[in-house]
Homo-oligomer: A and B are copies of this chain.
Amino acid sequence: MLELSRADLHVSISDPAATSMNFLNEIAGRYPDAISLAAGRPYDGFYSVEDVARYQQSYVDHLRGRGLGEQQVRGLLLQYGRTNGQLGELIARMLEIDEGITVPPESVMVTAGCQEAMIIALRALCAGPDDVVLVAEPCYVGLTGAARILGVEVAPVPETPDGLAPETVAEVARQVRAAGKRPRALYLVPNFSNPSGVSLPVATRRRLLDVAAEQDLLLLEDDPYGLFGLDDEPRPTLKSLDTGGRVIYLGSFAKSCFPGARVGFLVADQTVVGEEGKRTLLADEMSAVKSMLTVNTSPISQAVIGGVLVESGCSLRTANRDKLAFYRNNLRTLLAALEEHFPQPGRGELGVRWNVPSGGFFAVVDVPFQADEKLLERSAEQFGVLWTPMSFFYTDGGHHAIRLSCSYLEAEQIAEGVRRLSRLVTENA
């Protein structure tokens, strides 16, 4: 059999993030009894296999109810379809109801999960080697990985405990420009970010939109966790505040429905001006990229999400009340367990601190030792608990911090996981 040298393959093959995630999966496989505070997946128990066919049927009924004949319905489900998908209207209605985002259905592109939305947005916007994407750091590995696939340069903007500082964004943009390059876009997760759990205050959101206009940046707003706040405080999306058309909204159904559908979307309602002043919609232009990645998103998967939207009256905020209660309880359990196992008097001596996210799936714990892969392996083997080294999410940094996830487990397991973690910390402090 032919042997290829790994050094001859593209650099994304050796992506450190992919390697790290593989390592995590491998450790999880080797220690199946370890409690995983590493898995950021949604909880499994909200759906059953039978729901899939029912949702598809609901969507088919919806199409028939709109007067489509059998041949048309069959074509929509089984044939190649429109590159940008068939859920534009339902998703636009959902964005209006749930997020106060008003956009034309044609500006919605349905994608093969939010990951594809990221790479399409990056590819469309970053035209040449001088185009740079800014990212809030620590950063979700899917975005930096997508940039690596395309050879797009990434400029990190350090996140503070209150999220990104708009002035730092402006500063990094100026540095990029001073280096002869073009800062093209900024990627961020404004609500309960992955991995940090941090959210952006509303005033900061408004200021960030101003900075985007000043620095001629587009904002790639990724919002997979927005529905899952600890309180009912409204957190307006950047897109809903965006009067200048600076935001490309990236959407996921992995947490609000389930990951197996692999359906996400992007909203790109900006105008593109071409030769002879011809005006088109950015989402339509981006379809040229989408068609060369996956042609179109599986209509069978779209039908499942279409059914969820139809059954919920296009309000996932309403449909997700049970999930919201579950995830709230999980995050509260995580934070309470940290309080319990790292009590205030001793905490300082141990050198342990954590942030208190106002929602979402993640919290970050600072620890007084190097939290690397070697320690992770020992943690799995000797203490029966898994977590994610924060260094996975930095170009260089996060060496003394770990990410804890509380989405996949039930509350008792979370409490037990933190108890085990406290033993690891005590032994290493």
Q: Are B41 and A80 within 8 A (Cβ)?
A: yes
In chain A, residues 27-51, which have Cβ atoms closer than 8 Å to a Cβ of chain B? 41, 44, 47-49
From B6, B10, B74, B274, A125 is in contact (CB under 8 Å) with B10
Given A52-B77, A127-B11, A296-B262, also A2-B119 (CB < 8 A): no
Tell whether, in the assembled complex, residue A142 and residue B292 are in contact, meaning their CB atoms are under 8 Å apart. Answer: yes
A43-81 CB mask vs B (1 if < 8 Å, else 0) is 010011100110011001000000000110111011111
A361 to B298 Cα, complex, angstroms: 23
Return the chain B residue nearest A144 by Cβ: B292
SS class, residues of chain A in contact with chain B: helix
Interface string of A360-391 (1 = CB under 8 A from B): 00000000000000000000000000000000
Indicate which residue in B10, B49, B279 contacts A124 across the interface (CB closer than 8 Å).
B10
> C-beta contact mask, A219-241 vs B, less than 8 Å → 1, else 0?
00000000000000000000000
Residue from B48, B112, B289, B297 within 8 A of A149 (CB atoms): B289
> Given the complex, which residues of B lie within 8 Å of A310, measured CB to CB?
none
Task: Establish whether residues A81 and B260, one from each chain, have CB atoms under 8 Å apart when the complex forms.
Answer: yes
Asked whether A44 lies within 8 Å of B2 as measured between CB atoms, the reply is: no
Residues on the B chain within 8 Å of A119, using CB:
292-293
Task: Report if A254-B80 is in contact (Cβ < 8 Å); known contacts: A44-B71, A74-B44, A260-B300.
Answer: yes
Given known A-B contacts A112-B298, A273-B4, A273-B5, A259 and B123 have beta carbons under 8 A apart: no
User: Per a CB cutoff under 8 Å, which of B2, B75, B148 touches A292?
Assistant: B148
Is B293's CB under 8 angstroms from A115's CB?
A: yes
* Assembled-state Cα–Cα distance A57/B52 (Å): 10
Contact with B along A1-32 (1 / 0, CB 8 A): 11111111111111100110100000000000
CA distance A272 to B80 in the complex (A): 35
A298 near B262: Cβ-Cβ < 8 Å? yes
A150 in contact (CB, < 8 A): yes
Roughly how many angstroms separate A62 CA and B18 CA in the complex, as a whole number? 32
Q: Which of A258-295 contact B (CB under 8 A)?
A: 258-263, 269-275, 279-280, 282, 285-289, 291-295
- A57 contacts across to B, CB distance below 8 A: 53
Residue A100 at the chain B interface, CB threshold 8 Å: no
A291 touches B18 (CB 8 A): yes
Chain B residues whose C-beta falls within 8 Å of the C-beta of A262 in the assembled complex: 112, 294-301
Contacts of A145 in B (CB 8 A): 291-292
Known: A18-B292, A49-B73. 14 other contacts (CB 8 A): A2-B218, A4-B270, A5-B273, A6-B272, A6-B275, A14-B288, A15-B292, A44-B78, A49-B77, A115-B293, A115-B294, A262-B299, A298-B298, A298-B301
Listed from nearest, the 5 A-B pairs whose CB atoms lie closest are A2-B245, A262-B298, A6-B274, A145-B292, A18-B288
Residues of A near any B CB (own CB < 8 A): 1-15, 18-19, 21, 41, 44, 47-49, 52-53, 56-57, 60, 70-71, 73-75, 77-81, 112-113, 115-116, 119, 123-127, 142, 145-146, 148-151, 218, 244-246, 254, 258-263, 269-275, 279-280, 282, 285-289, 291-301, 304
